[in-house]
Amino acid sequence: MKPIVLCCSFVAALAIGIEAQSNNYPDIREVMIRMRDGVRLQTMVVAPTEPEGLFPFTLDRGPYGLPPRQQVTGSAIGCYRVFQNIRGRFRSEGEFVMLRPPCRPNQPKCVDETTDAWDTVDWLAKNLANNTGRAAITGGSYDGWTAVMAGLDPHPAVKAIIEEASPADMFLGDDFHHNGAFRLSYGFDYTVLVEMSRTANSFFQFDRPDMYDWFLALGTLANVNERYFHDRLPTWNNFTRHPNYDRYWKEQAVAPYLNAVKVPTLNIAGWWDPEDFYGPMTIYGALEQHDTAHRNYLIAGPWNHGSWRGKARHLGMIDFGSDTAQYYARNLSGPWLNHWLRRGGELFMAGANVFETGANRWMRYDSWPPKEGTRVSRLYLASRRRLSFDASKSPAGYDEYVSDPASPVPYLRRPIKPTFQDYTKPVIEPTAWPNWLVQDQRFLAGRPDVLSWTTEPLSTNLHVVGNVAAELFASTTGTDSDWVVKLIDAYPEDNSDTNMRGFELIIASDIFRARFRNSFEHPEPVPSNKPLKYVIDLHSTAHCFRKGHRIVVQVQSSWFPLYDRNPQKWIPNIFEARQTDYSKATQRIYRGGNEPSSIIMQVLQVL
């Protein structure tokens, strides 16, 4: 949720005609830029550090406020850097609409993030002194999404777009839901962040230290409006009114709008991004289908929601052997941006640049997932909690557990802090949110409602490079259920890096809400006690399970309070469930025979 800063390194000039706000920062000006409907948007222009020359400009548009002046002063090396608050945020006029859907063709007076970007670029191209008329739209997350929107009808000055971790679909895979399962603590905290006040970012004052306790004590989802929001936060109201994949969600989902690569686009994704990993991978994939001129690029690295900025040799406890953020800036995004904004000529960059964790190396592919050099491998759940690549080693059977909504499985080691912290105030202990996906999963050891299946220590390295999915055969005694599947790399007890001995690292994971097994638009009750097949997309990865490591598959039915509790009893709209609707259920995971649960992985072919 922070604006992302990119700079280009070119030659010099001065911004003129824009009112200076402070003598302490003579290179920074603030201006209200008028959109086509008269609404004015608060905009910060950071002038190039060089006194003379011709400069391109970058534009970053988002809802979180302009960056602190001390952070950006002197940082516009060889280009102008421009930041803008979108409508209805801070001093920007107009109304804030969460992920404002793009205008339809028959709405000539309509405004959206595409028209606002166009109008802003137009103004900048006409008013920044000595600009080259070449611009890039850049930004991370929400600002990445506005960059993608700018690309739907780009101003002719826009020569490049860098979207870093833009969401693509808030019902299927990004911040607010995954496969229809609602992201409770995130959705709650984020709605407060941007909709409690229009002139500030807001942080809810929780009256308990552990979010697990707080959200459990909250009880039903209806209590959020009854006790706290009182129908005042539009996005929360939309969560409660749109529990299925209806027009509200589809209108803001980007893939259907991406019918051409109108501007060279660089998509950035972090393998362990807890907010928007689905987004950039989906946007890249959608654009790739139309990329006849090879102007669509992907960079995926060992990052959380933004750690490609700054230093990134480590993420949590995991050591990647080199600073992957430095490599990203020097060898990938920097040259890419320079090419489109300044240099022209040949660009020596592969279509897909991915960091393979475990092997700790950058790999170059023509596209992602790789079309050649891999094969599909299945890892089967077997008896005695084993995993086997050999289906015949898995006689028919099942393993079972009781899922109790009164005692859901925590997604993080407790106590769990609020998702966001106010970084403008001193932070005593940082939230674990950014790195929760790389937390050692041994904190769940001993929970009877988390089942694990394990391979023997691997005899050779296994490179999983590409798509991963779970084919789960499962039944419940209830009439609805959640299925969480995690693919884990279990480090050996005698690992050379002593910090990582026995560590259990999630490599791929997701949740699936069973009511949506046939349709996200029209959910249905789950027939009790009947084994059903669920294909759960675990997305793609590039990871080497090293010789001596074991592969673990874990299944559970809650991930709390990140995801709301499934009542495990069919309720048409879970936002209207009563306390008494939340019931225990016995869950069975089947293996072998006609119900051979397995993980399907694209793996590097060993020649």
Which residues of this chain interact with ligand PG9, rule CB under 6 A?
Answer: 1, 99, 141-142, 145, 167, 175, 190, 275-276
Grouping H, G, I as helix, E, B as strand and the rest as coil, residue 331 is helix
101 or 167: whose CB is closer to ligand PG9? 167
Looking at the Cβ atoms of 269 and 571, the one nearer to ligand PG9 is 269
* Tokens standing for residue 445: 């050891």
Select the residue whose beta carbon is closest to ligand PG9 and give its number: 141
Minimum distance of ligand PG9 from residue 235's CB (angstroms):
9
Q: Using the minimum distance from each CB to ligand PG9, give the nearer residue, 4 or 76.
A: 4
Q: CA-based Rg of the chain, rounded to a whole angstrom?
A: 24
Min. distance of Cβ 307 from ligand PG9 in angstroms?
Answer: 13
Q: How far is the CB of 569 from ligand PG9 (least distance, A)?
A: 30
Phi, psi angle pair for 549, to nearest 5°: -80, 160
Angle 526-527-533 from CA coordinates, rounded to 5°:
70
Count helices and strands (H / E) in the chain.
Answer: 11, 25
* Token pair in block for residue 423: 């970084």
Q: Which amino acid, one-letter code, is at 531?
A: P
Q: Decide whether 190 or 365 has the Cβ nearer to ligand PG9.
A: 190
Nearest to 477 by CA among 533, 401, 548: 401
Residue pair 19/29 in contact (Cβ under 8 Å)? The answer is: yes
| Alpha-carbon span 585 to 180, nearest angstrom | 20
Q: Which is nearer to ligand PG9, 275 or 489 (CB)?
A: 275
Residue number, 305 or 515, with CB nearest to ligand PG9: 305
Q: How far is the CB of 601 from ligand PG9 (least distance, A)?
A: 28
Judged by beta carbon, residue 274 or residue 592, the one nearer ligand PG9 is: 274
State the minimum distance, in angstroms, from the CB of residue 1 to ligand PG9: 4
Distance separating alpha carbons of residues 186 and 188, to the nearest angstrom? 5
Output the smallest distance, CB 435 to ligand PG9, in A: 15
Contacts of 443 (CB under 8 A, 6+ apart): 413
Of the pair 143, 404, the CB lying nearest ligand PG9 is at 143
Q: Are 167 and 276 a contacting pair, CB within 8 Å? A: yes
Q: How far is the CB of 370 from ligand PG9 (least distance, A)?
A: 28
**Nearest to ligand PG9 of 276, 480 (CB atom):** 276
Q: Fill in the DSSP letter of residue 274.
A: S
Nearer to ligand PG9, 117 or 382 (CB): 117
Rounded to a whole number of angstroms, the minimum distance from the CB of residue 61 to ligand PG9 is 12
Least separation in angstroms between CB 260 and ligand PG9: 23
Residue 259 Cα distances to 155, 170, 255, 269, 362, angstroms: 17, 20, 8, 21, 30
Q: How far apart are CA 112 and CA 104, in angstroms?
A: 10
C-alpha torsion sign, points 270, 144, 286, 328 = negative
Rounded to whole angstroms, how far apart are CA atoms 426 and 428?
6
Q: Which is nearer to ligand PG9, 270 or 567 (CB)?
A: 270
Q: Which residues contact 201 (CB under 8 A, 6 or more apart)?
A: 64, 65, 193, 194, 422
Q: How far is the CB of 59 from ligand PG9 (least distance, A)?
A: 17
Question: Shortest gap between Cβ of 468 and ligand PG9 (angstroms)?
Answer: 23
CA distances (Å), origin 133, targets 123, 162, 226, 266, 464: 11, 18, 52, 20, 44
CB of 62: closest distance to ligand PG9 in angstroms?
7
| Residue nearer to ligand PG9 on the CB measure, 1 or 472 | 1
**107: exposed, middle or buried (Cβ count in 10 Å: 0-12, 13-18, 19+):** exposed
Give residue 195's Cα distance to chain centre: 20
**How does DSSP classify residue 407?**
S
